[in-house]
Amino acid sequence: MFELTDKKVLVTGGSRGIGKSIALALGKAGADVAITYARSKDAADEVVKLIKEGGRNAIAIQADAVDTKRAEEVVKEVVETFGGLDVLVNNAGITKDTLIMRMSEEQWDDVITTNLKSVFNYSKAVVRPMMRSRKGSIVNISSVIGLTGNAGQTNYAASKAGIIGFSKSLAKEIASRNIRVNVVAPGYILTDMTGELDENVLKSIEDVTPLGRGGEPEEIAAVVQFLASDASSYITGETIRVDGGMAM
């Protein structure tokens, strides 16, 4: 339904988890897909292989999401390889959870920089090529924790709330150039990252989720695909929760 035939897409942190599912879904919908990865080269190469097997072009680029200059280089490479860039999905992110009394400055800085500065880096880098083509869609992956807060996640919550405020502001700046900026806020999604949580913690999360289960990465990818497509052409500055009702 939300086809992306011949769209050119960049997904940061696209080698695993939610990012992988997004990259595969957008490729299946007809897009050429570039992904970035920090360390998981083999996993990134597998994503590229799967997208190419589906008949679309794909590349994987090693990049530290917090490196502003590298973000500019990545966007330039994608534009030169694909002949343009229509969609950016800012997905790269980490967690370093602990109570604030135990949180180190490094743990705070690492999460804020990786999760929030990376969105600034790549959004700034894609604005010029999108402005030249007078169209584009930027989809930023936040979290329901950015809306509700959560004990032991002050750094993560601050970074994810920051993404929402950033996205609303950017949406107002570039709407006149037909570039849209939206946010997807996942709840508890079944990935490698959440798989490390204690069984009792997982049960408590499911208990406060009205649908009574964790979400699948593909359920996030479906919403991203909608926001990347022309079907959402009159939506900008919006935050869509995909959380089973957790933050309702």
Q: Which residues are catalytic?
A: 156
Type of residue at 141:
I
Q: Which residues pair with 58 in a beta bridge?
A: 33
Residue linked to tokens 């970074």: 159
Strands, E assignment, 125-207: 136-141, 179-186
- Tokens describing residue 82: 């694909």
Pair 94, 110: CB distance under 8 Å = yes
The answer to whether the Cα torsion of 237, 243, 245, 248 is positive or negative is negative
For residues 98 and 71, give the distance between their C-alpha atoms in angstroms, rounded to a whole number: 29
- Helix (H, G, I), strand (E, B), or coil: what is residue 74? helix
